[in-house]
């Protein structure tokens, strides 16, 4: 049994933690919380995270009876990177740039893509006004344009080295294509830097193992 337990599922935020831990070569126990069945509201999980969100990391390395609990995917990524000194640069500027991407992912990429998915997929039969879907489609395009520009001449987001910045960002690109089908309304071939970057990330052997934890690349919404 490992000191680390990850409570998660194969969602764009949930998959980040298995990917990061596999890349770091750190042992962990995996505990699936199926949010499609409402398991995040169970009494047992509510004690772990009263916000009822995944992923959650429980770290028993300092106290096996009272583990440290960390929620929010980007906070967990940063915690793990600093704890194991992996997937983050020691250079102050590069470290700040990595943190900037984490903040951007949490405040903008995930929020915008999630809102687009809500109105285009989950609420498409409930909201007749086209405004919300159109608004968040336009906002999603802005996010894609920005990422595409930032990847110009780069293999990865920060200092051309794979980091928690990439792990935070690329799963959402996969999700908006496979699950929200954004490429049915925009031409994703306009974003060659993004497509090559996502493929580059997914082809990393240890990242591939993390993604396969929940067969993430095969999750579709038909």
The CATH classification number of 92-204 equals 1.20.1050.10
Residues 211/217, Cβ–Cβ less than 8 Å: yes
Element holding 101 (H helix, E strand): helix 92-104
pLDDT for position 140 = 99
Strand partners, 31: 7
Question: Per-residue b/e over 94-117, b at no fewer than 16 CB within 10 Å?
Answer: bbebbbebbebbbeebbebbbbbb
pLDDT for position 221 = 83
CATH topology for 4-84 is Glutaredoxin (3.40.30)
**From CA 177, how far away is CA 170, in angstroms rounded?**
11
Domain positions in the chain:
4-84, 92-204
pLDDT in tens, the chain (222 residues): 899 999 999 999 999 999 999 999 999 999 999 999 999 999 999 999 999 999 999 999 999 899 999 999 999 999 999 999 999 999 999 999 999 999 999 999 999 999 999 999 999 889 999 999 999 999 999 999 999 999 999 999 999 999 999 999 999 999 999 999 999 999 999 999 999 999 999 999 999 999 999 999 999 887
pTM over 0.85: yes
């Amino acid at each position: 049994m490992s000191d680390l337990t990850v409570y998660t599922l194969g969602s764009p935020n949930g998959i980040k933690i298995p990917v990061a831990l596999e890349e770091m070569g750190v042992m962990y126990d995996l505990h699936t919380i199926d949010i499609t069945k409402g398991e995040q509201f169970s009494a047992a999980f509510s004690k772990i995270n009263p916000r009822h969100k995944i992923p959650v990391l429980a770290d028993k390395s300092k106290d096996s009876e009272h583990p440290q609990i960390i929620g929010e995917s980007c906070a967990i990524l940063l915690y793990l990177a600093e704890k194991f000194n992996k997937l983050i640069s020691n250079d102050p500027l590069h470290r700040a740039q990595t943190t900037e991407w984490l903040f951007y992912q949490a405040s903008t990429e995930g929020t915008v893509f999630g809102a687009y998915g809500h109105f285009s997929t989950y609420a498409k039969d409930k909201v007749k006004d086209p405004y919300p879907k159109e608004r968040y489609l336009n906002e999603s395009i802005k996010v894609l344009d920005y990422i595409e520009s930032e990847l110009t001449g780069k293999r990865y987001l920060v200092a051309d080295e794979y980091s928690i910045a990439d792990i935070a960002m690329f799963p959402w690109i996969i999700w908006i294509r496979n699950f929200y089908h954004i490429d049915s309304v925009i031409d994703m071939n306009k974003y060659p830097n993004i497509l090559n970057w996502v493929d580059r990330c997914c082809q990393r052997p240890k990242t591939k193992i993390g993604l396969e934890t929940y067969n993430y690349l095969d999750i579709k919404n038909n």
